[in-house]
Chains A and B, each alone.
Chain A
Amino acid sequence: MSVSQPITVTVNGDRKTAEVEPRLLLVHFLRETLRLTGTHIGCDTTHCGACTVLVEGVPVKSCTMLAVQADGQQVTTVEALAAGGTLHPIQAAFKQEHGLQCGFCTPGMMLTSIALLQEKPDPTDEDIRWALSGNICRCTGYMNIVKAVRSAAAQMKAAAAVPAATAAARS
């Protein structure tokens, strides 16, 4: 067994310091060390995306990244999405559009979708399907997931437009 190394990772805004084995996977650091079990493990080989988290805002499959590689970085997991108890638009949309069934892929799906919407606030269905093609869902057939992402995009766009419109009216 190799010697543990100290790491400091900012997870969902909280600085977390731990001594970890260099071989510890990020997903195990999140699930076992920090007990953030919303991030799931589905395949161990980077195919299914159930373990997707955001590292510095970029979707990463945390089963294929070492915890030590996340040292000094910002990690976002599903647990951060309902900030202050209010659902993120992507969460609300997944429920509204029936974008989940067993719920196992859902955290990874939502985080990948959030990254897509940051890059492309108004994606086409093809954009959504391509962005989510590294996240496998065995239950939904993706139809309602695509609808959910589209619906979240519209919600987020409308929400972003409100302050701008208010500001325009005042000037």
Chain B
Amino acid sequence: MAVETPLKGNIGDSIRRKEDDRFIRGRGNYVDDIALPGMLHMAIHRSPFAHARIKSIKTEAAQAVPGVVAVVTGALLAQHKLAWMPTLSGDTQAVLATDKVRFQGQEVACVVATDPYVARDAAALVEVDYEVLPAVVTPQQALEPDAPLIRDEKDGQTNNHIYHWEAGDKAKTDEAFAKADRVVSLDTFYPRCHPSPLETCGIVADVNSATGHATLYMTSQAPHAHRTLFAIVAGLPEQNIRIISPDIGGGFGNKVPIYPGYVVATAASLLIGKPVKWVEDRSENLISTGFARDFHMSGEMALSNDGRILGLRVKLLSDNGAFYADAQPTKFRAGLFHIVTGSYDVAAAHVEADGAYTNKAPGGVAYRCSFRVTEASYLIERLVESAALEMKMDPADIRLKNFIKPEQFPYMSATGFEYDSGDYPRAMQVALDKLGYQSLRQEQAEKRKKGELMGIGVASFTEVVGAGPGKHYDIAGLRMFDSAELRVHPTGKAILKLGVKSQGQGHETTFAQIVTEELGIPAADVEVQEGDTDNTPYGLGTYASRSTPVGGAATAMVSRKLRDKAKRIAAHLLEASDADIEFDQGKFFVRGSPAKSKTIQDVAFAAYTNLPDGMEAGLEGVTYYDPPNMTFPFGTYLVVVDIDRGTGQVKVRRMVAVDDCGVRINPMIVEGQIHGGLTEGFGIAFMQLITFDEEGNCLGSNFTDYLLPTSWETPRFEMGETVTPSPHHPIGAKGVGESATVGSPAAFVNAVIDAVAHLGITNIDMPVTSDKVWAALHEKGAAE
């Protein structure tokens, strides 16, 4: 009987995840699992109003509750210059409100107590006297001339306008529109939603008053950047700050910003001299932490009579909430929205973006895709759908006609991105074949004759991920490189330390596999460590699908650095010259004589025991990788829906997802990432919505109102792939964490529109709920 050889973990091997063993035993270590001796608990008193002036804050009743150690207000923080903090977009944000509250749920006071129940009891007893002010809940309202001024504390801020930003070539775009045979337009709103990882945000702050060292256990997707920002905000010496981001229960962008709770818990620990834990509840998470989207988009597309896209013109209005806190590179005020030409060869494009303050929670903005790429992809894919309707072309055909052709790569877009590689027609064809597109079109035609509503949605997204290069992309001024440190021990086992931080993506397995591929050490023998700033090299963290493009590249490069040294050691062991040594699958041998070889384990031992004269001992190294370009994953998603005319209910019958994320390191993990991203895209398209009433009350403050997909309604996905390696990434990988959330919402909405467009319904904004569909059908006299 053949014995199955266990996989070593080379690139392409779907080995099981190394990190799973602790999670399936309930032995993960999340922030809320941490308990330190003498630890106190913090609860936050939050504003019930969206906009109000604070007349007074009384804390006596809260102070009097047995077990309460301290009540922290903005006035106390102001004495330490901590009442305000900088945001990731160079704005300021209140840590605890002193003058006004500017959104419902804003942090006003914090209670620190010996018991979490007591802290909550006492937080409810903080008495705040408010003068309620009119609330501004949309950016359109915010920009009215007589709108209430939200940021009246900012010098020189006389209205609620934050920024105006443009990209592309206006004159060239105007010219393209002047020459166009047809122009289609679409006004759409990508509503506010929330990443809602299952674990909320929290911290255990442990400041040692004797040494001044601060150890902060934090739900952080970017622990190193957070350390630097903490040093700047709190004025603590950076060498005394250690951020430990332990196991993270999902991030999706929610754990990129620094929240007031982190800062106050740290300040409280410093002032009291004991560890302080703050873990928010779900409502706090939904009403006050980084939301996503809330983006109003108007797009126009210039077309020739034969369906060629000649130009694209886009106007944007962004609702940034009360503090401009987007996590995005400083050069780009609307993120990387200008990737809006998508997968298409569009000669001229122009984007104008404006941002406004409102009385709503600040961003964030990231939700399984940062930098506004999701919004851009949604707009172009919806616009192409509109163009297909206008031109009476098949939505697949109009895409095939306008795709950037494989031979055009590297391709410079009209708004200044150099696309690294792609083969869009092939991904489209694989998807069409897998779905059986033509026969479904026939079925649709037959159903339509009978009055039944069936739609097929097409979306062919291109994403831009993997930031840097550092010369263009930064977070709060920190260049977006990333790092890997590899230490190979004498017995041939290794520890890999990274500047990125997994939140469930499987880094402990994937990055070990890169070392396996490059050095031949089995993945089981490579321990991957992340998230402890004292013990990992500096990096910018995990978001924007950047871990594999940047941290993965750093891992490959540091492995190659060690391989070069290992070759020289092998030459010494084999008594040959360095130039004659070859390496294959963990073995070093003299060219032409593979039978006589030294393994990587032999060489590692020699690195500590038997070195050539003059060589430094050890087999260790560190690499900081600044990518030469972004990577551009892409794919085609196809969705089939059936719509009930009586209820407006949309049933997703099928979904085919063909992704090209370049080389797949662990295909099992890649598919898992896509499954999750598609599900979040499904949720955004059909159910997830954070909305507000006219007084600024948040109407999505718990999971009763903010609906997330469950196993019951989530579609069953059919997966496909193509592989177009990134030419500039050391192993050809592109990153995949967010593609599916970027690409899928348009596919779902296009499917709905495809089912009802013949009735004259050309747009329904997300979330496409049954009541909205029914109302649209009813308006056209088509509801039953």
Task: Tell yes or no: A159 within 8 A of B by CB.
Answer: no
Q: Is the CB–CB distance between B24 and A106 below 8 Å?
A: yes
Q: Is the CB–CB distance between A82 and B702 below 8 Å?
A: no
Interchain CA distance A143-B198 in the complex, whole Å:
18
| A38, A82, A146 interface centre (most CB from chain B within 10 Å) | A38
Q: Using an 8 Å CB-CB cutoff, how does the interface string of B499-518 with A read, 1 for contact, 0 for none?
A: 00001111000000000000
**Stretch of A42-50, A67-75, A162-170 at the chain-chain interface:** A42-50
Q: Is the CB–CB distance between B702 and A106 below 8 Å?
A: no
Query: Across the two chains, which residue of chain B brings its CB closest to A80?
Result: B26
User: Please, which residues of chain B bring their CB within 8 A of the CB of A101?
Assistant: 250, 504-506, 672-673, 676
Q: Is the CB–CB distance between B712 and A104 below 8 Å?
A: no
Q: Is the CB–CB distance between B20 and A143 below 8 Å?
A: no
Q: Is the CB–CB distance between B250 and A102 below 8 Å?
A: yes
Q: Is the CB–CB distance between B714 and A142 below 8 Å?
A: yes
Q: Is the CB–CB distance between B703 and A142 below 8 Å?
A: no
User: Please, which residues of chain B bring their CB within 8 A of the CB of A28?
Assistant: 116
Task: Tell yes or no: A62 within 8 A of B by CB.
Answer: no
User: Please, which residues of chain A bring their CB within 8 A of the CB of B199?
Assistant: 40, 42, 102, 104
In angstroms, how far is the closest chain A Cβ from the Cβ of B637?
14
In angstroms, how far is the closest chain B Cβ from the Cβ of A45?
5
Q: How large is the interface on B (under 10, 10 to 19, 20 to 34, 35 or more residues)?
A: 35 or more
Task: Tell yes or no: B580 within 8 A of A by CB.
Answer: no
- Taking CB atoms and an 8 Å cut-off, the chain B residues in 672-721 that contact chain A are 672-673, 675-680, 702-704, 708, 710-712, 714, 716-717
Task: Tell yes or no: A95 within 8 A of B by CB.
Answer: yes
Interchain CA distance A32-B188 in the complex, whole Å:
48
In angstroms, how far is the closest chain B Cβ from the Cβ of A32?
8
- Taking CB atoms and an 8 Å cut-off, the chain A residues in 92-142 that contact chain B are 94-96, 98, 100-107, 110, 128-130, 132-142
Interchain CA distance A42-B281 in the complex, whole Å:
8
User: Please, which residues of chain B bring their CB within 8 A of the CB of A43?
Assistant: 282, 702-703
Q: Is the CB–CB distance between B676 and A37 below 8 Å?
A: no
Q: Is the CB–CB distance between B679 and A103 below 8 Å?
A: no
**Stretch of B29-37, B312-320, B519-527, B550-558 at the chain-chain interface:** B29-37
| B30, B198, B252, B506 interface centre (most CB from chain A within 10 Å) | B198
User: Please, which residues of chain A bring their CB within 8 A of the CB of B506?
Assistant: 101
Query: Across the two chains, which residue of chain B brings its CB closest to A131?
Result: B711
Interchain CA distance A145-B680 in the complex, whole Å:
16
Query: Across the two chains, which residue of chain A brings its CB closest to B740?
Result: A141
Q: Is the CB–CB distance between A23 and B117 below 8 Å?
A: yes
User: Please, which residues of chain A bring their CB within 8 A of the CB of B669?
Assistant: 98
User: Please, which residues of chain B bring their CB within 8 A of the CB of A38?
Assistant: 25-28
With A95-B16, A133-B711 in contact, is A44–B282 under 8 Å at CB?
A: yes
Query: Which of B26, B27, B252, B672 makes the CB contact (< 8 A) with A138?
Result: B252
Task: Tell yes or no: B21 within 8 A of A by CB.
Answer: yes
- Taking CB atoms and an 8 Å cut-off, the chain A residues in 20-55 that contact chain B are 21, 23-24, 28, 31-32, 35-45, 47-48, 50
Query: Across the two chains, which residue of chain B brings its CB closest to A110?
Result: B24
Interchain CA distance A136-B712 in the complex, whole Å:
10
Query: Across the two chains, which residue of chain A brings its CB closest to B66?
Result: A1
With A95-B20, A134-B710 in contact, is A45–B26 under 8 Å at CB?
A: no
Task: Tell yes or no: A11 within 8 A of B by CB.
Answer: no
With A42-B198, A45-B703 in contact, is A136–B23 under 8 Å at CB?
A: no
Query: Across the two chains, which residue of chain B brings its CB closest to A79?
Result: B26
Q: Is the CB–CB distance between A98 and B672 below 8 Å?
A: yes
Q: Is the CB–CB distance between B32 and A129 below 8 Å?
A: no
Q: Using an 8 Å CB-CB cutoff, how does the interface string of B646-680 with A read, 1 for contact, 0 for none?
A: 00000000000000000000001101110111111
Query: Across the two chains, which residue of chain A brings its CB closest to B674?
Result: A141
Interchain CA distance A139-B710 in the complex, whole Å:
11
Interchain CA distance A42-B283 in the complex, whole Å:
11
Task: Tell yes or no: A78 within 8 A of B by CB.
Answer: yes
Task: Tell yes or no: A8 within 8 A of B by CB.
Answer: no
Task: Tell yes or no: A81 within 8 A of B by CB.
Answer: yes
User: Please, which residues of chain B bring their CB within 8 A of the CB of A129?
Assistant: 711-712
User: Please, which residues of chain A bring their CB within 8 A of the CB of B717?
Assistant: 141, 143
Interchain CA distance A87-B17 in the complex, whole Å:
16
In angstroms, how far is the closest chain B Cβ from the Cβ of A68?
14
With A48-B703, A143-B716 in contact, is A100–B675 under 8 Å at CB?
A: no
Query: Which of B24, B27, B703 makes the CB contact (< 8 A) with A94?
Result: B24
Task: Tell yes or no: B134 within 8 A of A by CB.
Answer: no
In angstroms, how far is the closest chain B Cβ from the Cβ of A133?
4
Query: Across the two chains, which residue of chain A brings its CB closest to B22?
Result: A103
Q: Is the CB–CB distance between B250 and A139 below 8 Å?
A: yes
Q: Is the CB–CB distance between B704 and A140 below 8 Å?
A: no
In angstroms, how far is the closest chain B Cβ from the Cβ of A13?
15
Interchain CA distance A102-B246 in the complex, whole Å:
11
Q: Is the CB–CB distance between B708 and A106 below 8 Å?
A: no
Q: Is the CB–CB distance between B249 and A40 below 8 Å?
A: yes
User: Please, which residues of chain B bring their CB within 8 A of the CB of A36?
Assistant: 26
Query: Across the two chains, which residue of chain B brings its CB closest to A125?
Result: B716
Interchain CA distance A137-B30 in the complex, whole Å:
16
Interchain CA distance A122-B72 in the complex, whole Å:
56
Query: Across the two chains, which residue of chain B brings its CB closest to A132?
Result: B711
Interchain CA distance A32-B116 in the complex, whole Å:
10
Query: Across the two chains, which residue of chain A brings its CB closest to B195?
Result: A138
Query: Across the two chains, which residue of chain A brings its CB closest to B252?
Result: A138
Task: Tell yes or no: B356 within 8 A of A by CB.
Answer: no
User: Please, which residues of chain A bring their CB within 8 A of the CB of B20?
Assistant: 94-95, 100, 103
Query: Which of A39, A47, A48, A87 makes the CB contact (< 8 A) with B26?
Result: A39
Query: Across the two chains, which residue of chain A brings its CB closest to B678?
Result: A141
Task: Tell yes or no: A151 within 8 A of B by CB.
Answer: no
Query: Across the two chains, which residue of chain A brings its CB closest to B26?
Result: A38
Task: Tell yes or no: B248 within 8 A of A by CB.
Answer: yes
Q: Is the CB–CB distance between B503 and A140 below 8 Å?
A: no
User: Please, which residues of chain A bring their CB within 8 A of the CB of B35?
Assistant: 32, 35
Task: Tell yes or no: A144 within 8 A of B by CB.
Answer: yes
User: Please, which residues of chain B bring their CB within 8 A of the CB of A91?
Assistant: 24-25
Q: Using an 8 Å CB-CB cutoff, how does the interface string of B177-203 with A read, 1 for contact, 0 for none?
A: 000000000000000000011111000
Q: Is the CB–CB distance between B23 and A103 below 8 Å?
A: yes
Task: Tell yes or no: B420 within 8 A of A by CB.
Answer: no
Q: Is the CB–CB distance between A107 and B26 below 8 Å?
A: yes
Task: Tell yes or no: B385 within 8 A of A by CB.
Answer: no
Interchain CA distance A133-B709 in the complex, whole Å:
9
Q: Is the CB–CB distance between B198 and A137 below 8 Å?
A: yes
- Taking CB atoms and an 8 Å cut-off, the chain B residues in 231-263 that contact chain A are 247-250, 252
User: Please, which residues of chain A bring their CB within 8 A of the CB of B716?
Assistant: 143
Interchain CA distance A140-B711 in the complex, whole Å:
10
User: Please, which residues of chain B bring their CB within 8 A of the CB of A77?
Assistant: 26
User: Please, which residues of chain A bring their CB within 8 A of the CB of B703?
Assistant: 43, 45, 47-48, 136
| A91, A94, A143 interface centre (most CB from chain B within 10 Å) | A143
| B26, B671, B714, B717 interface centre (most CB from chain A within 10 Å) | B26
In angstroms, how far is the closest chain A Cβ from the Cβ of B396?
25
With A102-B249, A145-B711 in contact, is A139–B504 under 8 Å at CB?
A: yes
Interchain CA distance A106-B27 in the complex, whole Å:
11
Q: Is the CB–CB distance between A141 and B676 below 8 Å?
A: yes
User: Please, which residues of chain A bring their CB within 8 A of the CB of B66?
Assistant: 1
Interchain CA distance A39-B28 in the complex, whole Å:
10
With A95-B16, A141-B679 in contact, is A79–B117 under 8 Å at CB?
A: no
Interchain CA distance A23-B120 in the complex, whole Å:
13
Interchain CA distance A100-B509 in the complex, whole Å:
13
B contact residues vs A (CB 8 Å cutoff): 16-17, 19-28, 30, 32-33, 35, 66, 116-118, 196-200, 247-250, 252, 281-283, 503-506, 668-669, 671-673, 675-680, 702-704, 708, 710-712, 714, 716-717
Subset of 13 A-B contacts with CB under 8 Å:
A31-B32, A42-B198, A47-B703, A47-B704, A77-B26, A78-B26, A100-B24, A132-B711, A135-B711, A138-B676, A141-B675, A141-B678, A141-B679
Contacts A38-B28, A41-B32, A142-B714 known; 4 new A-B pairs at CB < 8 A: A45-B282, A94-B20, A106-B23, A107-B26
A contact residues vs B (CB 8 Å cutoff): 1, 21, 23-24, 28, 31-32, 35-45, 47-48, 50, 77-79, 81-82, 87, 91, 94-96, 98, 100-107, 110, 128-130, 132-146
